[in-house]
Amino acid sequence: MNLTVFSQEQKMAASEITSFKATVEKEAKNIKSLKTDFVQYKHLDFLSKDIETSGKMYFKQPNLLNWQYTKPYQYSIVFKNNKVYINDQGKKSKVDANSKMFEKINKMIVGSVSGNMFDDKEFTIAYFKSKDAYIVKLTPKTATIKKYINQIDLHFPMRDTTVSEVKLTEPSGDFTRIIFKNKQLNAKIDDSIFTN
């Protein structure tokens, strides 16, 4: 199936890809921290409405990340020193189970923010552009990841070098879409944000 027919997306030319990558990578080097709101839509074909959750995300170089849901419930997950700390509505825990999956999620979020995405050995990468955004599509190469991810789309608005939207499509065709809003680059973030 040719997706470009349906979505008004064009493949980027080789020269465009080179300059796009260079810009993102260069700008990413200047990112010391990032703070943003997000809205997450979980789409399942058999439901009448997507499931909407929202919250805030904090990132600080080199590898501090807090992914925090505030609506409709409180749940936050902190990645720090290669450990995962969870605060589930006040109940705290440190997670080892499923850590492989969390590690991948962490790598993907940090990677898409810091621009370390493009030489990933685990994904085949294709570059597209629409009217107002560059779209990077990652398809997993390994059987392990293929089991739960079919494709990841990252949207970079034309005048921005960080991701504004992530869409994660599962093998079933169901997907999760995350939209970032009110992004602040290099704002001061206290280290206490990364304790759960």
Partner 1 sequence: MIRFLQISLLSFFLISCKSYQVENAVAKELSTTEYKNLYFSDSKTDYVYKATIEVYGNQLSGIFIAKRISDTTHRVVFTTDFGNTLLDFELSENDFKVNYIQEDLNRKIIVNTLRDDFRLLLRIDHPVQEIFENDESIIYKSADKKWFNYFFESKTDKRLTKIITASKSKEKIILGFESKSTIFAQNITIQHKNIKLKITLNQITN
Buried b (16+ CB within 10 A) or exposed e, 151-169: bbbbbbeeebbbbbbbbbb
| Residue among 8 and 172 whose Cβ is closer to partner 1 | 172
Among positions 97, 131, 182, 188, the unique one binding partner 1 when judged by CB under 8 A: 97
DSSP letter (8 states) at residue 191: G
Match 């059987």 to its residue by tokens: 143
User: Which positions from 151 through 180 interact with partner 1, judged by CB under 8 A?
Assistant: 168, 170-172, 174, 176
Using CB under 8 A as the binding criterion, the count of chain residues that bind partner 1 stands at: 32
Among positions 2, 30, 48, 82, the unique one binding partner 1 when judged by CB under 8 A: 48
CA distance 196 to 184: 22
Q: Which of 180, 186, 29, 55 is nearest to 109 (CA)?
A: 180
In the complex, least distance from residue 52 CB atom to partner 1, rounded to whole angstroms: 5
Tokens of 160: 């921005």
Chain residues that interact with partner 1, rule: CB under 8 A: 40, 42, 44, 46-49, 51-53, 67, 69, 72-73, 75, 77, 86, 88, 91, 93, 97-98, 101, 105, 147-148, 168, 170-172, 174, 176
